Structure 1
Amino acid sequence: MSLSIVTVCMNRSHHLLQSAPRVAALPWHSEHLVVDWSSREPLRREQLPPDPRLRLLRVEGELQWNLCRAYNFAVAQSRGELILKLDADAWPSARFDPGASQLAVAGRPCAFGSGGEGRKGQMLLARSLFEAVGGFHELLVGYGFDDKELRIRLSQLLAQEPAWIPADWLELISHTDAERAGGQTGAGSLLASQGLAAMRASRLANRLVAAHAPWGAAARHCSYAKEPGGGWRLVAGSRPQLEAESADEIDHARRMTFWGCFLAIPDIFLEELPIKLVPPPRSGQWQVRWWHRLWWHSGRRLLHGPSLLLSLGRGHLARVRRSAGPDFQDQGR
């Protein structure tokens, strides 16, 4: 069976330029379809390996990243009977064998990545399976739960769990989940904290979306039209929408989760703040102002103090018990 590798990229050409040559060196795929999802600086074909199997398409007019819509578009444009979904920072290792029986379920390839650093977001699927469940859930936005939600629907279709791709069959450029969600760097920094908060808010919101609006092959999918210049653009009015009541509830949960995590303020107090102080995201971006940064460097750190003291106290007590031996431990019971 012919195999298409699909990769979608938005403003991550620095990762793609590292991974694409490694993909081009593979002998077993018939196509590598790269989709530029409205990157600020458009990808150019000459930046990518001169592999005749590599095709580059561009979708215009997208203001923010949407993995589910982007990969549904990519799969629809690909040609292979098998689909290997690889993010821009990933490539198969020398061990990867797309024909391995351990990657098949009920006689059809259906396997998800295992291990850390984003490996679980990579997958090998028979096109027929992907289409039978309707592909990715296009109402999910941001980062997180998209692969798990797809895996759940495949499990229901097959009446058994998909297989796992061994962790050492995939290579990735190392960066944290929080960086994937928020594009932030600096472990322990304000930016890393902001990225972590964005990741948690996105994951929770996507779980709620999946519960409110189940997805499947009969669901309304986005449509795209090819433009005279060769690019593609979303057809106006084709994007599926949540019901207004559900959307309001989920947006509120997303907002509370982000600011609660980032500022370390409990929901009960966040609810009392004016919405202009803890606003919803704008075009997918959280607007962190000077007063948020001031609180993060002052009030949040003060709130962190008691938990650090408790943690240090527990650690010290555990060391005392270990050094005192079993007699002391028996007295403590």
Structure 2
Amino acid sequence: MFGVNRFMVTSSMPSNSTADPMLQRRFLETFFARIAAAATNPEERLRQPEPNRQPDAVYMYSALLELEPIIISEHPGLFQRFTLAKSQANSLLTDEMRAGMDQRESSNSRMNTSFDELLQQAEDADNEGKLTDNMIITLVIRQRKTEEQFARLEPWLDKIKEEQARKDSTNYFWFTRAKLAIEETRFADAVRFQGKVAEAEDRAVLAFDLAEKQLENLSEAAGAYQTLGEVAKIAGSLPDSATKAKILMGLAYQYERFNPGFAMQELSDSVAVINRLQEPDLGTTAVLRQIVGKQYSFFTVYSVPGYDLERTYSKLAARDFGLSLSNARSLDDKFLRTMAVLAVTRECSKRNVTNEQ
């Protein structure tokens, strides 16, 4: 992410991801065109930004400043267009916007500070009566912390003054702390931390992650089965959403090895959820969470269980072709129904080829 709000959103990239020069060029060309359109539109200068957002011109210009070295080294052929876009974006800035941009960059500089330094700054500010919610939340959303750092940060959560920001920050704190415990196979800690997460959807994601991690070790199979039961219980209480549907499909996928009957029931439940959604988007691989206060806003993105429709139906079709096909045909959305039916029939074709051999 580029621009003054680059630290306001936290997310992670797959370890095997690589840059695509063609997509980069398309992005830059589209961005330049957007700036040109804004610069020639008188209404752009009068349009007020949404709450907790800077004017678009601030994002445009600050992003260009960060993109400049990349364009010089990777896309020199676009430098002339970049220079024009930078001039156009600069023309949209007012003195007030420049001041706000400088203030934001000053805040961003703190994000490059170590955890220990930020915590010390918070302690000093607290002693001087100058502690702000922003200082604490910055510590909460920092990309990655150790368990020892989580423990040191925990007492500071109650010092966040704005109630909703405190609730959202606390939820994210325990969510990320539980995530770390799962990664480090500290399962007892993970369960304890998960219980402190207020958002049911987040608890379901954590429980599913825990079950997946437990399944990596055969000695934890019994615990994984119990955890899957907890996931099913939480998922049943969730409102209908794409995330709920994906969790149910994930349950179907994992239950296939333990209890095929449960697997088909979860698959059927996922179909019911999908059919109740107006625009089911099962391609979504992440959930956005935000922490918003009167004078600040932070956003973070985390991944949801990666059991997509095709993978799930293919897996279950190998176990029970008839029921899998029946569930696939029950999907109301034409595109999803086609994808599911194709996944089932492909699995059937593979089985027929194997039998013939």
User: TM-score normalised to the size of structure 1?
Assistant: 0.26
Q: Which has the higher helix share?
A: 2
User: TM-score normalised to the size of structure 2?
Assistant: 0.25
Q: Which has the higher strand share?
A: 1
